[in-house]
Each structure stands twice: as structure tokens, then as C-alpha cells.
Amino acid sequence: MEYQFRLNPFDGRHQIQMEYGFEAMGRFIEDELGTDKAKISTLIARLQQGRDLRFEGHEWALVVEQGELSVLHHRLDHNEVDLDPDLALDDADASSHCGLEDGLLLLQAWLDFVAPL
């Protein structure tokens, strides 16, 4: 999983660019964690325990089951039975999956980026 961090020169926001297939991870990090060092550190500590967990954000959920980390947009939980078939949602950018260790490395790198020593 490749990623790049950058500081937006126009508005000072911390941003992450993820490789194809992992965009949802980046959106989760930016939207749900942002630069909140306490929230990032707490999530890392919970993940390091190695147990299954679910972290609910406003728009995204992070789920760990059997050593696999998944990020899912809440729209995936909605029942799409009533939708017009021509209006089906594209779920490709609404979920990402990786191993727990890779996810921990990403979150630690993000914490180091937003809170340098």
C-alpha cells in the first residue's frame, strides 16, 4: 500500500493521497481522524491490542476482524433495494481493506506527519 502525505499550501490542511484501491483509507483518515492526535493515538493503541473492534465515525467505520482491517463508508449499510437500477451507487471508493499491521503502519506514519517531534 503506497501513500503520500502533504500539507496543502493554500489552506494548511494535512492531506493523504493513497494508491488505487485504498482511497477509502485516506478518506477515513482525513475525515474521521484529521489531525486529532489524541484520537489517532487512542485508535492506534486499540488496534495494537490485536482484538476485533469497530470504530464508528460520522461517515466511515473502521472494522478489524481476524487480523484484517476494513474501512467502510456508512452508505454501504443502506438498503439499496428501493433504488432505481440506473442509479446504483459505485462502491469502489467506499471501502478499502488491508492487513492490521499495514493499517497500523499507515496510522503511525500519519500521526508522525501531523504531530512531528
- pLDDT tens-digit map of 60-74: 999 999 999 999 998
Number of domains in the chain: 1
- The angle at the Cα of 51, spanning 48 to 52, to the nearest 5 degrees, equals 125
Strands 14-18 and 53-56: what pairing? unpaired
For residue 42, being part of any structural domain is answered with: yes
Question: What pTM was computed for the model?
Answer: 0.85
> Over 50: is that where the pLDDT of 21 sits?
yes
81 within some domain: no
Q: Which domain holds residue 97?
A: 3-76+90-114
Pairwise CA distance, residues 69 & 84, whole Å: 32
Q: What pLDDT sits at residue 77? A: 60
pLDDT for the residue numbered 93:
77
Evaluate whether 7 touches 15 at the Cβ level (below 8 Å). yes
Summarize the confidence of residues 46-55 as an average pLDDT.
94
Cα 73 to Cα 1, 42, 69, 92, 94, distances in angstroms: 19, 21, 14, 11, 5
**Domain annotation covers residue 68:** yes
